[in-house]
A = this chain, B = another copy of it.
Amino acid sequence: MGNKIITIGRQYGSGGREIGEKLAKKLGYAFYDTLLLEKTAGHSCISQSILERYDERLADKWLNTALNSGTMGIDQLPIPIRAAVSQFETILKIGQTESAVIVGRCADYVLREQNNVLSVFIHAEMEHRVSRVTARNKVCEAEAKKLIQNTDRHRAAYYEYYTDKRWGDSQSYHLCIDSGLFGIDGAVTVLQNCLQSIPK
């Protein structure tokens, strides 16, 4: 497998998406964020094998049981789960064919058995994230903080629903970077250098 993948998990407001986009540009890699993955995946063509690959990770025991016993068809799966699984299928294809930076959507977990992946988590102290979100979203500090807390709660829940790892825990990633200390461009440089330091 000659292609390389960098997956980026990130706290809301940490600049993880921007870091990923700049890194992809510097490396000449494709760039996939959550929205693009949704578009790419579509919601209609979920194969049985893919569902089988992921259904063991679903937290809802009744759903596993229903699927495994054949009393529930794929079409009866809740839409959010079908959508997620469809994106995982897209991520798998990207992981086998392209050099790319992929943001979010449990990409680190989906590609965990491939050895061409560097998994990254970007975080920053709350004050840095609030400052970034107030400027970008034109909201007050209180709203920014609420938005950050809500979004991160959803991201953590999503990640921990589909994987057996903890969102934001250092052990879940190869590299975690505080973008508050390094800044956006500093973090991009850190990542570029790190790619050179992985033994062949």
Contact = CB atoms under 8 A, between A and B. Distances in A.
Interface of A: 118, 121, 123, 125, 168-171, 173-178, 181-183, 186-187, 189-190, 193-194, 197-199
10 contacts: A118-B181, A168-B169, A168-B171, A170-B170, A170-B176, A174-B177, A175-B177, A186-B198, A190-B194, A193-B197
Contacts of A170: 121, 123, 168-170, 173, 176
A199 B182 contact: yes
User: Would you list the 4 A-B pairs with minimal beta carbon distance, nearest first?
Assistant: A170-B176, A176-B176, A193-B193, A174-B178
B182 A198 contact: yes
Contact of A169 (B118, B169, B186, B198): B169
A72 to B, nearest CB: 35
Contacts of A181: 118, 174, 198
Contacts of A189: 193, 197
Contacts of A186: 197-199
